[in-house]
Chains A and B, each alone.
Chain A
Amino acid sequence: MGQLPKQTEFTEMNELEEMIRESAFPKNSMSYRIMNKIGEREMTRTSTKGKPNVLKKALLVASAAAVLGGTVIGSGFVSPVMAATLKQIPVIGVLYEGTSEEAVNAAIEQGILSEPNLSVTHDGVTLKVADLLYDGTRLSFILEREGVDLPSTASPYLSEDAVIIGDSDSEYVKSKKVAKEDQEKGYIETPKILVNGQQIEMGEGTFGDYPQQNNAYIVELTKGLNLPDQFELTIQANVTQVNENFEFKVPVNVTNKPVVVKPEAASKSDGAFSYTVKQVDISPVSTRLVLDSVGPVPTSPEQTGDYSASMVYYELVDDQGNVLAPRKFEYFNSEPKNEYHIDQLFSPLNGQAKSITIKPFTLTVNNKDWSVVGQGQNSPGEKTYLTDLELTIPVHQ
């Protein structure tokens, strides 16, 4: 190698590296949000798998098949990036991409979508329940905040019992683990949600900043809800440095129950791989597909050697050829598992549709780096449709 670098250059590199290390901060500790996601995973498994001992084993098996290289794209507002796409939608952020104005009107008429505009003020801080959606399959609402000048709404603080490894005096830990009385005023802590006075039961949910709008906080519960058509929803929120609780009671009354299709004989098999549709929920503002699959993923001639087939994904198409957008698209680019329980939300079905066709497909994965063949602009990747496994389900809306 050439001449030795000068001492000053080494020093400058050290300084530059230190500058990098110290410069970009996450606004909040993401640990609650992430733990919440992880928690949901187990909760879902708990409810489907049963007994404790079996559960532990099942968890190990299940996670043994989980893989690297995943990411999420699609049309959910869970993700701040994806939230931006939803800006296109005319009305409000609790709606999914592809929701027509017609559907919004129907949702309002049926009591699915409302703007309660209830507000509570304590100590100069106002919280307002702006938009509320319950369609029998998911519950979402937005809390708007006033009277606070902070760039975000969700509390960035770690609770006092959070475990810290190693240096609990580090600048980062000190900035997040702050005694109650020293916290900045005006952040919203994870709200409590009650239905008819009881803590709500749910399998998956998102709580946090709603990035499309300043001073807005979103809650979306998407799985494991088992609620009546009429109930009283109670939202209890705490705000840092405000002693009083912000409590809202919102009556929810859905007049038209969303259509739940539980098809009979809705199984398809190619001999080795098979799936059974358990349920399709159709509401004006979302579509849910629930199915179980068993068996090894069918592979095409291209999916051998350096390439392999991903897990099986399911596309929904109505009888007019409209493809429903999945709320999110999760990549699991590796050896697929033998069994899957799919419970996924899609954009709403057009009101005139008479049937839905389920079109299973796989993606082709490069074994070396988990990249997906054909993945790019507006495409999750090249789809290999499993035409033998297509299934059409009639719907009567």
Chain B
Amino acid sequence: MQPTIPGEAEGKREAIETIIEQVKAGEKQAYQAIIIQFERQMYTYCYYILKNHAETEDAVQDIFIRAYENLHQYKRQVSFSAWLYKMAYHHLINIKKKQSRFLNLIQHYKEQQPVMQISQHESVVYELLTYLTAEERHILLLKAVEQYTFDEISDIMGLKSATVRKKYERLRQKLMERISQKGEVARGTIAETNGIH
């Protein structure tokens, strides 16, 4: 876990709010800072749901554009981050519904991209995610990429907080079973990543 400096998160949140106000007031260019702030984690979230880099780029682009278009609807009661991810969650669900139609294309695209790099971590995460249901994947990814609390995840996904907690517990057990079945290999891979990238 990253050590948290007291006040740091609060300060960042304030900085984000300030920028949102600027954008709302017409300083369009200020929105770039918002994209830079969130794009990496957003990419990770979308990527592990969509499992394809090309489609992930499309999705991330669409999500940030929608967010911009809807910015006036954003109110300070929720954090901007949770608001953005709520939009992303719905967007990803919509894409998944019609993803089957893309499968052939993706195959094509992969053939075209022999240099596409998949890191060792990526493939391990990939494999573990296949054991989870779609809903469990969203819970795990939201918790992982933005380190959201169960309350925040419940808000994003429209579930009760207690339900999210229960589901998380279930998925954790599933993953732990998988890892112990795979024995030393998987365990070793995960341990290796500790603190390093």
- Which residues of A are in contact with B by a Cβ distance under 8 Å? 1, 5, 9, 12-27, 29-35, 37-39, 41-42, 56, 59-60, 63-64, 66-73, 79-85, 87, 151, 158, 162-167, 171-173, 176, 211-214, 331, 369-371, 375-378
Whether the Cβ atoms of B35 and A371 lie closer than 8 Å is: no
For chain B, what secondary structure do more than half of its interface residues adopt (helix, strand, loop), or is it mixed?
helix
Whether the Cβ atoms of B70 and A13 lie closer than 8 Å is: no
Q: Which of A18, A64, A370 meets B94, CB within 8 Å?
A: A370
Q: Which of B64, B71, B108 meets A84, CB within 8 Å?
A: B108
Whether the Cβ atoms of A17 and B98 lie closer than 8 Å is: no
Which residues on A sit within 8 Å (CB–CB) of B78? none
Whether the Cβ atoms of A16 and B175 lie closer than 8 Å is: yes
Q: How large is the interface on B (under 10, 10 to 19, 20 to 34, 35 or more residues)?
A: 35 or more
Whether the Cβ atoms of B40 and A172 lie closer than 8 Å is: yes
Q: Which of A66, A151, A165 meets B70, CB within 8 Å?
A: A66
- Which residues of B are in contact with A by a Cβ distance under 8 Å? 1, 8, 11-12, 15-16, 19, 26, 28-37, 39-41, 43-44, 47-48, 52-62, 64-66, 68-73, 87, 90-91, 93-95, 97-98, 100-102, 105-106, 108-109, 112-113, 115-117, 119, 121-122, 124-125, 128, 140-141, 143-145, 147, 166, 169, 172-173, 175-176, 179, 187, 190-191, 193-194, 197
Q: Which of A15, A80, A165 meets B33, CB within 8 Å?
A: A165
How far apart sit A66 and B67, CA to CA, in the bound complex (Å)? 10
- What residue in chain A is nearest B114 (Cβ atoms)? A214
Which residues on A sit within 8 Å (CB–CB) of B61? 30, 33-34, 37
With A22-B121, A165-B12, A212-B112 in contact, do A35 and B33 touch (Cβ < 8 Å)? no
- What residue in chain A is nearest B116 (Cβ atoms)? A151
Whether the Cβ atoms of A71 and B94 lie closer than 8 Å is: yes
Which residues on A sit within 8 Å (CB–CB) of B40? 25-26, 172
How far apart sit A29 and B172, CA to CA, in the bound complex (Å)? 32
Which residues on A sit within 8 Å (CB–CB) of B143? 17
Which residues on A sit within 8 Å (CB–CB) of B166? 1
How far apart sit A66 and B65, CA to CA, in the bound complex (Å)? 11
With A1-B169, A19-B121, A23-B122 in contact, do A38 and B31 touch (Cβ < 8 Å)? yes
Whether the Cβ atoms of B36 and A164 lie closer than 8 Å is: yes
How far apart sit A21 and B175, CA to CA, in the bound complex (Å)? 17
With A20-B144, A80-B58, A376-B100 in contact, do A38 and B95 touch (Cβ < 8 Å)? no
